[in-house]
Every structure is written in C-alpha cells, then in structure tokens.
Chain A
Amino acid sequence: MSTAAQEAAAQGALQSIPALLARNAASQGNRTAYREKEFGIWQSWTWSEVADEVEAIALGFLALGMERGDYVAIIGRNRPALYWSMVAAQSVGAIPVPLYQDSVAEEMAYVLEHCGARFAICGDQEQVDKVIEVRARVSAIEQIVYVDRRGMRKYDHSQMNWIDDVKAEGRAARQRLLPELDQRRNALTYDHTCVILYTSGTTGKPKGVVLSNRNIIEASKASSEFDRLKPTDEIVAYLPMAWVGDFIFAIGQAYWTGFCVNCPESAATMMTDLREIGPTYFFAPPRIFETMLTQVMIRMEDAGRAKKRLFDTYMAHARRVGPAILDGKPVSAADRAKYALGELLVYGPLKNTLGLSRVRVAYTAGEAIGPEIFEFYRSLGINLKQLYGQTEASVFITQQPDGEVRSDTVGVPSPGVEVRIAENGEVFYRSPGTFVEYFKNPESTASTKDSAGWVATGDAGFFEEGSGHLRIIDRAKDVGKMADGSMFAPKYVENKLKFFPNILEAVLFGNGRDRCVAFINIDLSAVGNWAERNNIGYSSYQELAGHPRVLEMIQEHVEEVNASVAQDRMLSGCQVHRFLVLHKELDADDGEMTRTRKVRRRIVEEKFADLIAALYDGQDSVYTETEVTYEDGRKGKLKATLELRDAKVFDTETAAPIAAQ
C-alpha cells in the first residue's frame, strides 16, 4: 500500500472504496477479508493480501490503458477476483458496471452499448463468448479480461488477457505506474461515481442507476451502524453481482465494516457452502427462504413417523412462543423450558442443516414474504427481518429494528432517510443514498426524482398508526379496482397461493373485471416429489402440470386461499373464481420475469391473452401455442391443451375460519 493512501486514510478522508480498502489493510491487515471455495477447500485472503491483489490488478489495468472515466463491464458469478476487479477499476478512476451473468447476449449488448464499456472482465469462457458475440455491434469494447482459463487457450489473445497475466504485468510495472495509480486513487472523492447498476426493469429497457461514492458509503455506514455489524461478521456472497444488494453487502458494508465475504464454489454448491461457512449476516430474497422451507417440508414428508411427530409437535410450540422469545417478550418458564428442549432436538439441528445456526441478522426484501414463511424462520430463533429498498436508494429506505419485527410491515425509515406518502398513496423518499441520475437518461431521471431530491418508488403504501411502520400494499400501478369498485390487490392473493410448497408462482388477473382468475405455476421439485410418492408417472414438466390429480390438488389450495381471502372484507372480491396451471414455468429468458424473478405482469397478460380470455369465457379447455427461448438463445414453440377449472368462492360471512390459518 502506498504512503499517500495511508495518509489520506489517517485524515479520515474515506471517500472511496479504494480508500476504505487501504484503511482496512492498515488497521486489520491480518484479518480474513475474502474466502472462496476452490478445489474443495476454502481459500482465504487477508485484507492486506486483498489490497496487494487489487493494486496489482489496478496497475495491470493501467498498463492496458484504462483511462479515468472508462466503463468496465463485470460479468460473472460471485468470485473474489471479480470483486477485486471492481475495486481496481475504481482505483484507476474507472467506473465498474456489473452485469447479470445469466443475461442472454441480446440484453448484454444493450447494456454494453448503452454504457460504452471499453473493458469487459469476464468470469469464464461462457461470458467471454457472449461478449465476443456482441462485439461486432458494440464497438466500444477494446479489451477482455477473463478469470477462469479453462477452454481459453485457442482464443485470439490480441485484445484479451488472463487476469493473472494482468496482475503479473501490473506487478512488473509497479515502479513505473505506481505514482500514476496513487495520484488517481487519491483524487477520488465523494462525488465520483462509485458504480453504475442496471436495474432489471419490470418495464421497458434497463436503466443505468448512477451511484456515487457518497451514496454507497453513507448508505453502508448508516445501515452497518443500524444493525451493529462487526469486523467478525461473515456473509456469503451468492446473489447476482449486478444487483444493488450484493454491491452494498459484499462491497459497501464489507469495506466499511471490514467483515469477511465468502464466495461459494459454484451456484450448485451454494447450500453446502452456506452450511460450511455459517454466515452471521445473511440476505436472501423471499424466494430463497421459500425454497429452503419447501425442501425442509419435502424431507419431513419422507421422514419416519416418529421424527415427523417430533417435528410437528415442536414446530407448533415454536410457532406459538418462538417469535416472542426472539423479541424478548415475557414467556412462561414452562414454555421456555420446552422451547429449550426443542432447540436441542429440532430447531438447532434444523438451523444447522440450513446453514443458519450463527445468523445474527438476516434480511429479506424485494418482494412481500408470506407471513407463514416469515414466522417459520422467526420461530426457529433466526432474527429474520424485512427491509424495503431500491437500487435508486442504495438499497435502504425502511428496515425493521430488532424487537419490532412483523411480517406485514417493512419497518421504519432507515437512519438518514426521509419518507413521505403522496396523496395517491405512492411512497416517496429522500436520503444520502439517493442516486445521482439514470445514466444518459435525463427524462427518466426527471420523472423519478424531483429537484428537491424526492424519489418516487412506484409502490403504494401507508404508515401504520401507532407503530409508525411502513406497510407496502403493492406496486402503485398494479393496485387496481374491480368492476364493482372494490380493491384489486393481486400480490396479496398471489403471496397466499405461493405459500403452498406445490405452487411456485401465481399471477392473478381481475383489474376492471367482475371477478378474478389466476395462472398457477407448479413447483417441479415439490410436485415431482409428491408424484413419486403417489406413483404418478410423468415424462415432462408439461405432462405433470396437466395431470388431473395435480389439478385437483392445486384446486384444493386455491379454495383454501379463497376461504382465507374471504375473511378480509376489503379484499374478498379478489377470490379466485377460475384458474389454470400453466404448461411452462414463467422464465426470465422468455421475458416473463425479471432477472430477479419478479413476474412482469403486463407481459404475461399480453403473451397469454388467449388463456385469460378462455378463463373468462367459461370454456373447459383451451389449446395454446407459446414461444419459448432455450438457454442458447434459440426459440421454439410449446403446444398444449390446458384444462380450465372453477374454484369454490366464499361469502365473507360464511367463510370457514379453520382455513384462514
């Protein structure tokens, strides 16, 4: 590390990520900063080693001719080398632009073209191939750097380098280039751009959110203090690097607090790696918690009778008293004793299996989490909380303080964040983390952020009286009215449906209509397991999804949800009158979901207009053809005849209370 950077650090001029890195290397150089599992072993790097690696990469970038203000695309799964490349790019004054690694070449071309990236840092051959594929159209790309050398030998290397060669070149040229690097590093201020993150965009083309060093560091600082994060904390970095959450957790907070970032061996080993590391600070979107719960439930279904009974008994007890114990509320000694026994017999081993034994703070966000799912984790003693955030806010808008956690709110405004509710119910916020602008898109910037710095979230919500917690109802544009004027809040019903392990995804329609209908996606692992146990043979997803017994089962679920929805006077109109089980999984490659796996309602509505019409016509079955995109980008057609079913609906008065868990 250079002396100039040390001085800057000493003066408290921590105005950039490279400056934070220098501080960490100086103050806790021997503490582990990164781990990555490779060749079956956790390899680790201390903060001073990381500082050294980042400097080598930065010097190598200088040698390759990276200029101040260049855009550097980062494409690949979470690996230390890619995180270091981002910080190295910042060190030379360039701006990292992480991309979703599972984007098809077409989407990648748009972002690369839009930001005009000169450099692309790729994880492996697959990503390099995609960049090469779009290179003809994206003229700006000059240099490709790759991390994994496998299969790269035969490529034309005139404008391509292995990252280890870049480092070696940087190290060799250290004496010559270090003064230049020091100068550039020290020139970084709060106003320089830290990163550009392209939002996956539920509508239209992705927008590049420009976040400054001020945004990232202030947001990281406030949120780290809110949850009292410590240098001894551990996280597992497994969410897409292009997502703002990953950038805040694995770079912003990690560098501010100085905790350790662990990278899994591969996406497929994530659950094993999670168990081995046992993170203390954990973030996952609701979908992950759902999947984990589904897997637990499936395995309990297969367990012996004694084990199943033990599990059911203690889980019922945990549901009753677990959350109260976690919140420090008074609980009787007998209940506490039984809970302690449960911890020994059930909860402890279960948390260990899930890799959540050591979790001190866990967050979920991005979508509403089913109350039952949320309570399940809370009752086990896992401090799972909700936060509400956006890329444009550097994540944090509101979050739940310890002891004030509920499944139906998203908490109080984060430190330093002001929130107000507009007359139409839309939530607005203003904070030090509020983004600078949308890159090369002044119209969108102007329509989202006003001159006083207030940003429109696009979500409808309200502050609860008494607690002061924010409650989000739905996307402001998705909340609608039924023909009779009652409220149509699709998410509310969809989330109830999605709590059933057999249902992966649900889409409710009914805006402006007299009744609601729904599309259901089955969860292949849960339903497949069920089919196996019931000797139901199937050869494809489509066949299983159309099986009469699967339809019957889904119908039961839908009717249970109807009974539960009927309890709520305001929303009883949202009961599902008719439904169908889709013959394909909704997929980001087909544009039906975002890369963060949120349903793009409007696109689904357009694409399957024939099915919706059939549901409202009262037909019993419908023939449909759907275009699908395969992993390699080719397109094909899926043909199917779907059965449409009626579901029982309930009057608000007669609804059976038992169904409304």
Chain B
Amino acid sequence: MLDTQDDGYMTADGRKIGGVAMEMRNITLRFGGVVAIKDISFDIRWGEVRAIIGPNGAGKSSMLNVISGFYHPQEGEVIYKGYKRPRMRPYEVARMGIARTFQNIALFEGMSVLDNIMTGRLNHMSSGFLSQAMWWGKAAREEEENREKVEKIIDFLEIQHIRKTPVARLPYGLKKRVELARALAAEPAILLLDEPMAGMNVEEKEDMCRFVLDVNDEFGTTIVLIEHDMGVVMDLSDRVVVMDYGKKIGDGTPDEVRNDEEVIKAYLGVAHD
C-alpha cells in the first residue's frame, strides 16, 4: 500500500478535510504526437471541493478523464485509496465510487427524469434479468429500496415537478440538474463535474452552486470540478489546480492561486502598460 496518510486540514468555514483520496503522480497523456497532459502531479483529499481551471485546450477535460479512468496515461500513476490503480473499464470505475457529469449533457432523452436517475442506481442492484422481468421477490424489493434513495435525491435537488417528464422536454439548466441527480444516485465517494455551470444564466448558476455545496455538505461527497466562471470557482472550491497547455502552473487555495504571478499571466491576462 502506497499510503500517504496525513491529517488533512480545516477550511475557513470550519469543515474538516480528510486525508488524500487520490493522488496523481507525474501524469503524462499523449494522443499520437499531441501531448495533452505533461507531467502533472496533484492530490485530491476526502471531503474537499477541488477545482481544475485553465484556458481552453489546457487539458482540463483530459485530466478529468484520467481521474475517471476513461483515459489511461502513458506515463505516471494514479493512486486511489492508497493503491496504484490499474487500467480499468468504465463500470469498474463506477463500482469504485466515482461518478461524473458531462460537459455536453449525456442523458437518455426519451426516458423520464425518474428513470434516468434510476439508471444511476444500477450498481446497487443485483437481481438477475429474469427476476426483474418477472417483477418477483428480490427485484421488486430492490427497486423499492432504490426508488426511495432516488426520491431523496429528487427532493434534495428540488426536481419533484419534473419527476415524470421526459428529459427531452426539459430546458438546459434542468437537464444539468438531472445529470447531477443521476451521478448522485450512484452514491459516489468522488463526484466529477465537467463544467456544471456552462451555458447557464445567473440564477441557474446560483442554484447549481448551492446544490454543489449542499451535496458536499450533506453527503460529504468529494467533488472535483472543471469550471470557467472564475467567480464560481473562487466561491466554491477549497483548492484549485491551474493548467495551461497541459502543464500545471498553479495549485493552492483560491486566494493563493489568484495572487500567483504565473497564473495571472497565463490565465487571467496581463495588464498592458
């Protein structure tokens, strides 16, 4: 076990952040000749809201895909829960307690909101195909238990009114919320959010911010998010990784990052005298 046990830290608002959940060690990811991520190392701690920011094409989404196990880096290693993580299939990742939402919404458009969220519970169902088809014994019991969990999430995200609505009929902001609900339904230990606020208006953004914070607060879920809106990032996150051209150019609390010369130069722009 390659453990890096330590005590974590306290946030300014009094939350206790735990030890290291996942550690990226010298990750390099290439697509043919293109180097998407170049020798990046950082860690994610239990209970924190960790943001990854950077200009377009900086490699943020690639990084998230490495964390989720969808991409396997050519160099470097991912340490999860103290163990080096092997190459995995997506369902194996889900079983390890990692769930995600997508930059471009990936829901089942023809299905109702409820059914979409129920799919998030798939890993918590074990009854066989036949049993489910016959709606007998274990299958019925399982569905009831899972529905209860899903209803708690529906209540939590305040989407009761669209429970039975087909996803295709929903506006963008609500679809994003449904996607978050489905990810939450898996009861993940780590939740990856790829630009959860993209394309939203101010009110929708505020709602989403509140939900993200509430999820972190209520379920203790560790959250890794990519976001463009600097205001959102600075408000939400405990620690921020800044990327540019596949390299890490900053890592620290929002305040530290904000005042980092290199970050300002690369990302926030330099004032011309």
Binding site for B on A (CB under 8 A): 38-41, 150-151, 153-154, 265-266, 268-269, 272, 631
Contact = CB atoms under 8 A, between A and B. Distances in A.
13 contacts: A39-B154, A40-B151, A40-B154, A151-B213, A151-B214, A153-B217, A153-B218, A154-B14, A265-B160, A265-B161, A266-B161, A269-B160, A631-B203
Contacts of B152: 39
Interface in B69-99: none
A153 B219 CA distance: 11
Nearest to A631: B203
A268 B147 CA distance: 21
A423 B154 CA distance: 59
Given A265-B160, A268-B161, A272-B161, A39 B217 contact: no
Given A154-B217, A266-B161, A272-B161, A39 B151 contact: yes
A268 B14 CA distance: 35
Interface residues of B, number: 20
A150 B156 contact: yes
Nearest to B148: A39
A41 B150 CA distance: 12
Contacts of B156: 150
B163 interface: yes
Contacts of A268: 160-161
Contacts of B13: 154
Contacts of A631: 203
Given A40-B160, A268-B161, A269-B160, A150 B151 contact: no
A585 B158 CA distance: 26
Nearest to A269: B161
A93 B180 CA distance: 46
Interface in B217-273: 217-218
Contacts of B163: 40
B147 to A, nearest CB: 8
A269 B160 CA distance: 7
Contacts of B15: 154
Contacts of A151: 210, 213-214, 217-218
A631 B202 CA distance: 12
Contacts of A272: 161
A265 B155 CA distance: 9
B136 to A, nearest CB: 23
Given A39-B154, A40-B163, A153-B218, 12 more contacts: A38-B155, A39-B151, A40-B147, A40-B160, A41-B151, A150-B156, A151-B210, A151-B214, A151-B218, A154-B15, A266-B158, A268-B161
Nearest to B164: A272
Contacts of A40: 147, 151, 154, 160, 163
B87 to A, nearest CB: 39
A38 B151 CA distance: 8
A266 B158 CA distance: 8
A150 B161 contact: no
A266 B160 contact: yes
A200 B217 CA distance: 37
A151 B156 CA distance: 10
Nearest to B214: A151
Contacts of A38: 155
Nearest to B15: A154
Interface string B13-33: 111000000000000000000
A154 B13 CA distance: 8
Contacts of A41: 151
Contacts of B203: 631
Contacts of B210: 151
A295 to B, nearest CB: 15
A272 B161 CA distance: 8
Given A154-B13, A268-B161, A269-B160, A39 B155 contact: yes
Nearest to B203: A631
Most chain-A CB neighbours within 10 Å: which of B161, B210, B214? B161
Nearest to B147: A40
Interface in B147-192: 147-148, 151-152, 154-156, 158, 160-161, 163
